[in-house]
């Protein structure tokens, strides 16, 4: 049981380049999330998917797009990377159902640097 | 958006000290409160999930309480050990399981 996996672990981009961060979970969870973590700012939600087929914006969605490819996979795309998107990106998942108090399980993170 | 404040930002204690830190929230318009432990270079790991019933949670030397009336949760660590050094995150989840995280309390336990 791998839990939540993310690829790549590290990435360096030049301003204007695009890339996709991949996330997959093998726990049959319904909900998946993308966060960014910046020093002194905790975890900020970029996008989330409450269930397969749905996606919603979080606190900081600008400059990102997401795809919930199937129940297992949730990808995050940077169309034109900017230095302000230098951060550590975490994917998470939770089982969820209405009225659930399930916690989130996090992937190992992707450290992205945009030059 | 649910605002979550954590204090202090950082804390340095000696091995063996007991310590506690606070998670504050302005309203009880959430479904559950979560505590996570986040070690450097690792991913956050769940410690406790607390519902609005406010019952105390305990795991070994770590415990947490929730007071929804006054808008805070405390995390206590009894007899801190160096391996307790980590950032402790508090988060609120709403009815759609959307999470709102505080910025964390960074604990350093000196041997």
- pLDDT per residue over B27-71, tens digit each? 778 888 999 999 988 899 999 999 877 678 999 999 999 998 889
Query: Is it the case that residue A87 has pLDDT exceeding 60?
Result: yes
Nearest-CB residue to B51 (from A41, A94, A101): A101
Nearest-CB residue to A100 (from B34, B42, B97): B97
- Work out the mean pLDDT of chain B and round it to a whole number: 91
**Of the candidates B70, B61, B36, the residue with the CA atom closest to the CA atom of residue B50:** B36
- Arithmetic mean of pLDDT, A77-97: 92
Contacts of B91 in chain A (CB under 8 A): 43
H helices present in B29-106, as ranges? none
**Of the candidates B106, B41, B47, B102, the residue with the CA atom closest to the CA atom of residue A108:** B41
- Arithmetic mean of pLDDT, A100-110: 87
Residue tagged 């914006």 (tokens): A57
Contacts of A94 in chain B (CB under 8 A): 97
The phi-psi region of residue B9 (left if phi > 0; otherwise alpha if psi is between -120 and 50; otherwise beta) is alpha
Give the E-state strand segments of chain B in sequence order. Answer: 5-7, 10-14, 19-24, 32-38, 45-51, 57-59, 62-67, 72-77, 86-93, 99-101, 105-110
- Work out the mean pLDDT of chain A and round it to a whole number: 92
Q: Which two tokens stand for residue A93?
A: 């998942």
Q: Answer whether B72's CB lies under 8 Å from B65's CB.
A: no
**Nearest-by-CA chain A residue for B4:** A42
Closest chain B C-alpha to A43 CA, distance in angstroms: 6
């Amino acid at each position: 049981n791998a839990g939540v996996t993310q690829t790549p672990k590290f990435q360096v981009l030049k301003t204007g380049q695009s890339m996709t961060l991949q996330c997959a979970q093998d726990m049959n969870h319904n909900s998946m999330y993308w966060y960014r973590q910046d020093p002194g700012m905790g975890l900020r939600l970029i996008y989330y998917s409450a269930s397969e087929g749905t996606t919603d914006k979080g606190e900081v969605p600008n400059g990102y797009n997401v795809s919930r490819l199937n129940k297992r996979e949730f990808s995050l795309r940077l169309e034109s990377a900017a230095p302000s998107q230098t951060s550590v990106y975490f994917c998470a998942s939770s089982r969820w159902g209405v009225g659930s108090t399930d916690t989130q399980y996090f992937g190992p993170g992707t450290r992205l640097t945009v030059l | 958006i649910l605002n979550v404040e954590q204090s202090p930002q950082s804390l340095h204690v000696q091995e063996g000290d007991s310590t506690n830190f606070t998670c504050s929230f302005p309203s009880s318009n959430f479904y559950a409160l979560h505590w996570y432990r986040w070690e450097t270079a690792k991913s956050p790991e769940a410690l406790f999930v607390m519902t609005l019933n406010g019952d105390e949670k305990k795991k070994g030397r770590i415990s947490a309480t929730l007071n929804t009336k006054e808008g805070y949760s405390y995390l206590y660590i009894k007899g801190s050990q160096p391996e307790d050094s980590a950032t402790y995150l508090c988060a609120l989840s709403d009815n759609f399981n959307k999470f709102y995280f505080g910025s964390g309390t960074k604990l350093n336990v000196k041997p």
